[in-house]
């Protein structure tokens, strides 16, 4: 279809009316250009939103005890209750599908007084007691040393991991903090690591960057809470539904703490999987809308190409008639018309694709690709698969634009065409 003679003939046909051909090609160019820009912008917002929750386990659920809202088994409503380590063991034993579970004990000083000191320099920061697997749920980047380990838990060691801001404010970003001693709420702890939150926007119980992290057992001993803690987080194993596990966990806790089975107000729950699913559906809706708008714009360009090809067929009625009279088969006429439509569409579409990608690459340089708490638009470029999909759409558009004119061309009878003036 595209040998040198055919390409030359097609090009001459297109070049007969340069203005008309350029205006027609612009419709396809603009359609592909808009599609590329919209896809890139959609990816930019997608990347920006996802960066705000990066590092947090998407299948995690936090459960925090609150006061009961119903009277039950002789207890008045408004009763407070506490979680303990035996609750965690019961959940591990009875609720199948729970992957990781980490109790959390927190302590905050809200009166504005300094509670964490290095030497004479002090500031006000939160404290959090966790198990080692907490860093697999609310992940942090280890800048120095290590995170809490099982030995720290078993021996209730007086060690701590400092959040990045705690380290920078008290010790200084240019100093090695490992082995130094900090005093938190009147007790000295040895620094074993410094951690930076992957995402400072998502936190339960305080940002990791602004927290002194202790072994859970150490914190329980320091604050005389026994085996009790403030709240816990668990993740769902592959193949299990988070919603059903949440109901099982809540039912088990109600049973263990004499809470009414219908008392949903006795626990506060943060379901991060549902939150992430909202984002997923939002992103999906945006992508569908982008493709609808982009393809709609491209379709208008394809219709323009098809109309111009119909006009061209009308102008070349005598030429087509002569070809038919000389023995040209319908397939030859069809190939010729579709080839002209394809060449015009592909040239315009590829130019639109290249320019769109180039412009968004420049925009991405200015916007950047480094996640930040204040950035909601990040690295707005299309992926390789999207570029391939756009190229396929260009080719299919060229075929679509040539079908109707080709059908019209083979309907022309040789004798009628020759008689036309």
| Residue 154 counted as domain residue | yes
113 shares its domain with 251: yes
pLDDT for 148-176, tens place per residue?
999 999 999 999 999 999 999 999 888 89
More confident residue, 408 or 372: 408
CA distances, 138 to each of 159, 215, 238, 239 (Å): 20, 15, 18, 21
Q: Which token pair is 408?
A: 């019209």
Select from 256, 291, 325 the last residue of a domain: 256
More confident residue, 131 or 376: 131
The Cα 40–Cα 151 span in angstroms is 48
Same domain? 337 vs 247: no
Q: What are phi and psi for residue 175, nearest 5 degrees? A: -115, 145
Tens digit of pLDDT for each residue in 61-112?
888 999 999 998 888 889 999 999 999 999 999 998 888 888 999 876 555 6
Rounded Cα gap, residues 124 and 109, in angstroms? 7
Model confidence at 318, pLDDT cuts 50, 70, 90, reads low
Structural domain boundaries, residue 354:
4-54+277-419
Look at residue 155 and tell me if it is in a domain. yes
Shared domain for 207 and 119, answered yes or no, is yes
Do residues 225 and 313 share a domain?
no
Estimate to the nearest angstrom the gap between the alpha carbon of 412 and the chain centroid.
55
- Gap between the Cα atoms of 397 and 231, Å rounded: 57
Establish if 67 belongs to a structural domain: no
Nearest residue to 286 via CA among 30, 48, 41: 41
| One domain, residues 114 and 240 | yes
Q: What is the pLDDT of residues 207-226, one digit of tens each?
A: 788 899 999 999 999 888 88
Looking at the domain assignment, is residue 269 inside a domain? Answer: no
Mark whether 226 and 311 lie in a shared domain.
Answer: no
pLDDT score for 27: 79
For residue range 102-113, what is the model confidence (pLDDT) as tens digits?
Answer: 899 987 655 567
> Is residue 68 domain-resident?
no
pLDDT interval class at 352 (50, 70, 90): confident
Whole-angstrom Cα distance, residue 415 to residue 220? Answer: 100
In 225-271, which ranges are continuous DSSP H helix?
242-256
> What confidence score (pLDDT) does residue 166 get?
92
Instruction: Specify whether 252 is located in the same domain as 281.
Output: no
Coil vs helix vs strand at 413: coil
Inform me whether the pLDDT recorded for 326 exceeds 90. no
174 DSSP assignment: T
Would residue 262 count as lying in a domain? no
Residues 109 and 183 in one domain: yes
Question: Does residue 302 belong to any structural domain of this protein?
Answer: yes
Is 163 found in the same domain as 285? no
Predicted pLDDT of residue 346: 81
> pLDDT per residue over 245-290, tens digit each?
888 999 999 999 999 988 988 998 888 777 777 777 888 888 888 8
Nearest to 158 by CA among 167, 148, 168, 166: 148
- Residue 77 resides in a domain: no
At residue 349 the predicted structure's pLDDT band, cuts being 50, 70 and 90, is confident
Asked if residue 245 and residue 296 are part of one domain, the reply reads no
Query: Are residues 340 and 290 located together in one domain of the fold?
Result: yes
Model pLDDT, residue 279: 76
Task: Tell me which of 196, 226, 256 is where a domain ends.
Answer: 256
pLDDT at 341: 76
Residues 244 and 155 in one domain: yes
In angstroms, the CA 294 to CA 310 distance is 25
For the chain, how many structural domains are there in total? 2
CB 340 within 8 A of CB 14: yes
């Amino acid at each position: 279809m595209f040998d040198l003679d055919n390409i030359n003939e097609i090009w001459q046909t297109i070049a007969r009316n340069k203005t008309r051909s350029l205006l027609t090609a612009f419709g396809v160019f603009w359609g592909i250009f808009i599609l590329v820009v919209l896809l890139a912008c959609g990816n930019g917002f997608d990347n920006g939103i996802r960066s705000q929750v990066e590092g947090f386990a998407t299948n995690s659920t936090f459960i925090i005890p609150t006061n009961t809202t119903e009277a039950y088994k002789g207890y008045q409503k408004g009763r407070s209750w506490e979680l303990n380590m035996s609750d965690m063991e019961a959940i591990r034993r009875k609720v199948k599908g729970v992957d990781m579970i980490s109790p959390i004990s927190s302590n905050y000083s809200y009166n504005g007084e300094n509670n964490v000191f290095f030497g004479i320099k002090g500031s006000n920061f939160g404290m959090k007691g966790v198990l080692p697997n907490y860093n697999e749920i609310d992940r942090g980047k280890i800048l120095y040393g290590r995170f809490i380990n099982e030995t720290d838990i078993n021996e209730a060691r007086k060690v701590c991991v400092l959040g990045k801001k705690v380290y920078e404010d008290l010790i200084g970003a240019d100093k090695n903090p490992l082995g130094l001693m900090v005093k938190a709420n009147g007790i000295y702890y040895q620094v074993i690591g410094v951690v930076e939150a992957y995402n400072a926007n998502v936190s339960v119980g305080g940002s990791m960057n602004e927290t002194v992290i202790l072994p859970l057992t150490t914190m329980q001993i320091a604050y005389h809470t026994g085996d009790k803690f403030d709240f816990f987080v668990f993740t769902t194993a592959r193949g299990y539904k988070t919603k059903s596990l949440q109901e099982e966990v809540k039912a088990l806790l109600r049973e263990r703490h004499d809470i009414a089975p219908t008392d949903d107000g006795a626990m506060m729950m943060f379901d991060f999987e549902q939150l992430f699913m909202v984002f997923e559906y939002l992103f999906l809706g945006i992508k569908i809308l982008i493709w609808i708008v982009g393809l709609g714009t491209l379709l208008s360009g394809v219709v323009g190409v098809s109309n111009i090809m119909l006009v061209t067929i009308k102008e070349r009625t005598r030429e087509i008639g002569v070809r038919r009279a000389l023995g040209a088969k319908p397939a030859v006429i069809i190939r010729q018309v579709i080839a002209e439509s394809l060449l015009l569409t592909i040239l315009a579409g590829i130019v639109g694709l290249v320019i769109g990608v180039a412009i968004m690459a420049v925009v991405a340089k200015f916007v950047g690709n480094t996640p930040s708490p204040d950035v909601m638009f990040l690295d707005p470029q299309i992926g390789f698969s999207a570029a391939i999909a756009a190229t396929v759409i260009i080719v299919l558009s060229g075929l679509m634009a040539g079908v109707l004119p080709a059908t019209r061309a083979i309907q022309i009878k040789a004798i009628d065409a020759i008689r036309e003036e």
